Amino acid sequence: MEISITSRETIKPSLPTSAECKTQKLCLFDVFQLNTYFPLILFYSKTSNLEGFSDVSTQLKKSLSEALTIFYPLGGRRCDYFSIDCNDEGAIYMEASVNTNMEVFLKPPKLELLNQLLPCEPNKCHPHQEVLPQLLVQVNIFQCGGIAIGLCNLHILLDAYSCSAFLKTWFAICKGSKEEISWPNFYSASSSFPPRNTTGVRAGMLNINKDLNIEETCTTRRFLFDHKAINELKSMSTSDETKPTRYQVVSSFISKHMIVSIKEECCCDKTRPMVALHVVDMRKRMGEPFSKGAIGNLLWPALVVLEDVNKNSDIIDLVKVVKEGVGQLTKELFQKLENDPNFLWSDECAELMLEGIEANKPISLVFTSWANMGFKEMDFGSGKPLWLAQRGGTKQSIPNTVILMETREGIEAWITMRETHITILEHDVDFLLFALPNPSILI
């Protein structure tokens, strides 16, 4: 298969950004983020509603320009560690032709080729001083007329929720449904959680994930947990005291088998503690104004130690640990973080951050969920996407990360691990009882 770039241009906002909006201050959690792009690819089959691709292309670019006027920081560039210069430099927009039909590409999905559908290498950690576009787009046209829109979103300002809000706005404008625009709030995050000087914070604080900056040669694999598998896992994990969510049972099941795979490698130090980091969206827990369009990385980690996990461990025990860890992240906790400048130095925060465990060089597993964010509803005029994808291939990346994506069939887990570890996982018979590896996409 060949993918050929046919055009590359810069799309600028349709109107210049006003003087009072020229500087976008970052929030506390933005400045903690790595200078990296997270990817998303949306696949659309050809529909009779669309005219020729040139018309689609024109409309996508025009509406992107209008969307950048509303989401004006995405057209800017980072000017220092704490802010973005909303200078209207614009977003990078590329188009590419794919010399095969989408049906061939998706039966089963060619994971090793997914990165070619993206406008840049995803998840590569860039130096913080490197100035990068906030958004890059690559629109890929297959021979059959199907379209795959690949996005690379700079994590400095955008998290998955913020990306979803932007896409809703862009696509609402594209299909002429401006009443569906998701109006952004760029003020709440930075005003409530301004960057703070963390110099001198107690040893072990805020650096539990310092090893996440270390990139290894990793491979990403896709596994589907269909509705039947999820229900079975929930029944195995439910008791009078524990009524788990789909996320809790799937992430607990995956973490067990990832740990088994890591420990099976003979060179692995089996005495190192295992820590699961669950990325929690603060918006729903805090309520208004954060629950209405707040843009930024409003994320906080729930850290839990997974002790003595082996192939005989019961999922219900892991679910209880995750449930307890995530349950500590309450509205009251985030209000303390918002209102008390010294909270990052407190005993309470130290306990949440597992202060002291870094001395034992823990192995971290990172879980994040993109469910219930509306990605599978994104319609730019051709109907809803038939599939959402992340990334593929073997690249330098952060190991032991899992992204859960909601699909019509259930939940997809995109698991990135060192190649030797994920090979063990792929051959884990107990894991494959519930996880279907890279099934074909029905068109």
At residue 200, the pLDDT reads 55
At residue 202, the pLDDT reads 55
d(CA 149, CA 11): 16
Compute CA distances 341 → 30, 193, 202, 334, whole Å. 17, 10, 15, 12
Q: Which helix (H) or strand (E) holds 440?
A: none
Residue with tokens 């290894």: 216
At residue 269, the pLDDT reads 65
Model pLDDT for residues 135-152, shown as the tens digit of each residue: 999 999 999 999 999 999
Pairing of strands 410-418, 401-406: antiparallel
- For residue 131, the tally of other CB atoms under 10 A from its CB is 11
Q: Which residues in the chain come in under a pLDDT of 70?
A: 47-51, 197-215, 266-270
- Domain range annotation of the chain: 3-192, 210-372+382-437
Compute CA distances 243 → 236, 246, 373, whole Å. 11, 10, 23
d(CA 329, CA 323): 10
For the chain, the C-alpha Rg in angstroms (whole number) is 22
Taking Cα atoms as reference points, which of 107, 124, 102 lies closest to residue 115? Answer: 124
d(CA 328, CA 184): 28
Model pLDDT for residues 208-243, shown as the tens digit of each residue: 445 455 667 889 999 999 999 999 999 999 887 778
d(CA 440, CA 353): 40
Pairing of strands 363-369, 401-406: parallel
Q: What is the biggest distance separating any 2 CA atoms in the chain, rounded to whole angstroms?
A: 61
> Domain 3-192 adopts which CATH fold?
Chloramphenicol Acetyltransferase (3.30.559)
Residues 6+ apart with CB under 8 A from 144: 45, 46, 101, 102, 103
SS3 string, 259-277, reads HHHHHHCCCCCCCCCEEEE
At residue 99, the pLDDT reads 94
Q: Which two tokens stand for residue 12?
A: 């600028």
Are both 3-192 and 210-372+382-437 of the same fold?
A: yes
10 Å CB burial of residue 273 (0-12, 13-18, 19+) is: middle
φ/ψ (deg, to 5) at 294: -70, 120
Model pLDDT for residues 350-391, shown as the tens digit of each residue: 889 888 887 788 889 999 999 989 999 999 998 999 999 998
At residue 209, the pLDDT reads 46
Residues 6+ apart with CB under 8 A from 416: 218, 219, 220, 397, 398, 399, 400, 401, 402, 422
Question: Whole-model pTM?
Answer: 0.93
Tell me the sheet residues that pair with 397. 216
Sign (positive/negative) of CA torsion 189, 388, 3, 48?
A: negative
Q: What angle do CA 65, 138, 280 make, to 5 degrees?
A: 85
Contact predicate 268/358, CB 8 Å: no
Tell me the sheet residues that pair with 91. 11
Compute CA distances 60 → 15, 108, 139, 144, 381, whole Å. 17, 28, 9, 19, 10
Taking Cα atoms as reference points, which of 296, 354, 343 lies closest to residue 198? Answer: 343
Residue 244 preceded by cis peptide, ω within 30: no
Q: Spelled out in words, what is the top-level CATH class assigned to the domain 210-372+382-437?
A: alpha beta
d(CA 38, CA 441): 23
